[in-house]
Amino acid sequence: MPFKVLQICNKAPYPANDGSSIAIYNMSMGFMANGVDLHLLTINTKKHFKPDDQVPQDFKKKSNYISIFKNTNTNVLGAFFNLFTGQSYFVSRFKFQAFEQKLEDLLRNNEFDLVQLEGLFMGVYIDTIRRHTKAKIVLRAHNIEHYIWKRHIANERNPVKRYYLKLQNKRLKRFEISVLNKVDAIVPITRTDEEAFIKLGFKKPLFTCITGVDVMEYQTKLKLNEKAKTVFYFGSMDWLPNQEAAMWFLTNCWDRIHKKVPEAKLIIAGRGMPLEFFHITRPNVMIIENVENGKTFFQQHQVMIVPLWSGSGLRIKIIEGMAYGKCIVSTEIGAEGINYTDGKNILIANTAEEFSQNVVELLINDQKRKQIEDEAAAFARVEFDNHRVVSKLVEFYKVLLNA
C-alpha cells in the first residue's frame, strides 16, 4: 500500500521556471511516478504568481493540488515594524491564517504518513502540523538560508542596510536551528549542506537527495541552429546572488573575453531583471528578461557561465545545463553539491583571469567544447534521472517510517 505524503511549499511549482519551482515540481512528479499518494499544498505568492488554470489538469488531479494566494513581498513598513517582534522578517511573511486553516483541514481529513516541508520557510507551520497529526515531518532543505545571507552581507556596502541584514540573519539562524530541533529528518540537496547541518548539531536521520530532471526530455534535440561564439548566463535575476554574479562577470571578465574573441556575444537572461542591466553599454551584450522557451534558449547558445560567489544549496540551472549537454564554466561555489570532474564535464574557475581564459578557450576550441558537452550529457544521464533520484528518497522514507 503506497504511503501518503503531504508536500507543503512556499512557491507554486508550475510552470517550473526557476530553481526552486523546478526542485518542487520534479519532486512531486518523482513521488507520483514512484507510487506515492501525494497531496500538494502551496502558497501562491504575488511575486511568483502562477494562475491555477495554467496548471495541467492531470498534475492537479494526481497531486491533489491546492494553492493559496498571499502577498509575501517585503516593504519598508513591514521591515520596520518587524524590528520590534523578535522574529525573522525573512520567515514571518509566510505565516498567515488562510494557509494555516487549509493545512489544518487537510490534516484533519487525511491520515498522512509524512509531511515534507519544501524549504525552511514552511517551518513556521511545524507546531500546527504537530497538533493535528502523528506523521513524520521532514525538512527538504533547498539550501541553508542563513549561509546565503551571510555571504551576501559580506558584500553589502550600505552600513545601515548591512546592520539590518545582520540583525535579520541572526534571527534567521536562530529560527533555522529551532526547526532542526523540531523535524524528524532532513533531506539536504547537497553533501556540503549535509555536513553543515551536522556541524549545526543535527543528530537525526539525514538523506542527501539532489534535484532530478527528465534527462531524456532535455536531451531530445530541437531542429534549430546553434548561435556561434555565444556565452550565456541564465537565472532568476530577482535573486541577489544572481545579480552579483552577472555583474561580477561583466565587470571583471567580459572586456578581456571580447578583446580576445571580438565576435563573441554575451546573453544575460532571466525574469525579474533589474533596471540597471538594461543600461549596460558594454560591447556585444544582450539582456533578455523573459525567456519564452528554456529548452530553445539552452540549445541555441554555446558556453554557459555560473560565476556565483554566494548562495547555498544547489544551482538547478547547472543540473539543467548538464542535462542539455552544455559546456559550463563555474566557480566552486556555483557548482557546490554536484559530483563533477573539473576539466572533464565542467570547468571550474575561481578568479577573473581563470574564468576569462576558460571561456575564451571554449569559444575558439570547438573540439574541447564538444568533448566537455558530451561528457556533461553522459554524466547527467547517470546522476540526474528524476525517477531514480526520487526512488532512493522513497526508500529512505520507508525506513524512516518503520524506525
d(CA 49, CA 26): 19
d(CA 20, CA 399): 27
* 234: phi then psi, degrees, rounded to nearest 5: -135, 120
Query: C-alpha grid cell for residue 5?
Result: 505524503
CA distances from 288 to 11, 18, 106, 267, 298 (A): 23, 15, 41, 7, 13
Residue 197 · residue 219 · CB < 8 Å: no
d(CA 74, CA 238): 13
Listed in sequence order, the residues at least 6 apart from 59 whose beta carbon sits closer than 8 Å to its beta carbon are 14, 28, 29, 65
Domains of the chain by residue range: 4-212+385-402, 215-383
pLDDT digits (tens, 9 = 90+) for 292-308: 899 999 999 999 999 99
Q: Indicate the CATH number of 4-212+385-402 among 3.40.50.2000, 1.10.3720.10, 1.10.10.10, 2.60.34.10.
A: 3.40.50.2000
DSSP bridge partners of 45? 70
One digit per residue, pLDDT tens: the chain, 403 residues?
678 999 999 999 999 888 889 999 999 999 999 999 999 999 999 988 999 999 999 999 999 999 999 999 888 788 777 888 888 888 899 999 999 999 999 999 999 999 999 999 999 999 999 999 999 999 999 888 777 777 677 777 788 888 888 888 889 889 999 999 999 999 999 888 899 899 989 999 999 999 999 999 999 988 888 999 999 999 989 888 899 999 999 999 999 999 999 999 999 999 999 999 999 999 999 999 989 899 999 999 999 999 998 766 688 899 999 999 999 999 999 998 899 999 999 999 999 999 999 999 999 999 999 999 999 999 999 999 999 999 999 999 999 998 7
Among 10, 1, 73, 21, residue whose Cα is nearest residue 44: 10
At 5, the amino acid letter reads: V
Pairing of β 327-330 and β 347-348? parallel
Query: C-alpha grid cell for residue 107?
Result: 490534516
CA 115 vs. chain centroid, Å, equals 20
Residue 319 · residue 214 · CB < 8 Å: no
Query: C-alpha grid cell for residue 257?
Result: 573575453
* 39: phi then psi, degrees, rounded to nearest 5: -125, 125
d(CA 122, CA 54): 24
* 242: phi then psi, degrees, rounded to nearest 5: -70, -40
Question: Quick one: pLDDT at residue 146?
Answer: 77
Residue 217 · residue 199 · CB < 8 Å: no
Residue 221 DSSP one-character state = -
| Fold agreement (4-212+385-402, 215-383) | yes
- Residue 70: CB atoms within 10 Å: 18
Question: Quick one: pLDDT at residue 148?
Answer: 72
d(CA 141, CA 55): 25
Listed in sequence order, the residues at least 6 apart from 363 whose beta carbon sits closer than 8 Å to its beta carbon are 229, 231, 257, 261, 264, 302, 303, 369
* 3-class SS of residue 137: strand
pLDDT digits (tens, 9 = 90+) for 76-111: 788 777 888 888 888 899 999 999 999 999 999 999
Question: Quick one: pLDDT at residue 315?
Answer: 86
CATH placement of domain 215-383 = 3.40.50.2000
* 3-class SS of residue 330: strand
d(CA 363, CA 230): 8
Residue 325 · residue 374 · CB < 8 Å: yes
d(CA 47, CA 145): 19
Listed in sequence order, the residues at least 6 apart from 158 whose beta carbon sits closer than 8 Å to its beta carbon are none
- Residue 90: CB atoms within 10 Å: 22
Listed in sequence order, the residues at least 6 apart from 267 whose beta carbon sits closer than 8 Å to its beta carbon are 230, 231, 232, 233, 286, 288, 301
